[in-house]
Amino acid sequence: MSEDVSDAPAGFAKEQLKSFIERVERLEEEKKAISDDIKDVFAEAKANGFDVKALRTILKIRKEDADKRREHDAIVELYLQALGILV
């Protein structure tokens, strides 16, 4: 006969759980592939004479809010002046 009605929610939850797991696994695979692609781009940039550390810094800066970045830069400059590092 057919599945007991009381088992239906458990079966649904099991399928839903399996779906979540499989989706995350696919996304993890995509993330790995994208990460590998990013590494390849940095390797190419380095091979062409670019400083990868500087590129990473620029990427970080571009992600930041402009106002927060200016505020942070002003604080860093103030601290450097206090330490006598900036003239």
Which pLDDT score is estimated for 87?
59
The more confidently predicted of residues 2 and 85 is 85
pLDDT in tens, 49-76: 999 999 999 999 999 999 999 999 999 9
pLDDT in tens, 20-57: 999 999 999 999 999 999 999 999 999 999 999 999 99
Model-wide pTM > 0.85: no
**HEC-encoded secondary structure of 4-63:** CHHHHHHHHHHHHHHHHHHHHHHHHHHHHHHHHHHHHHHHHHHHCCCCHHHHHHHHHHHH
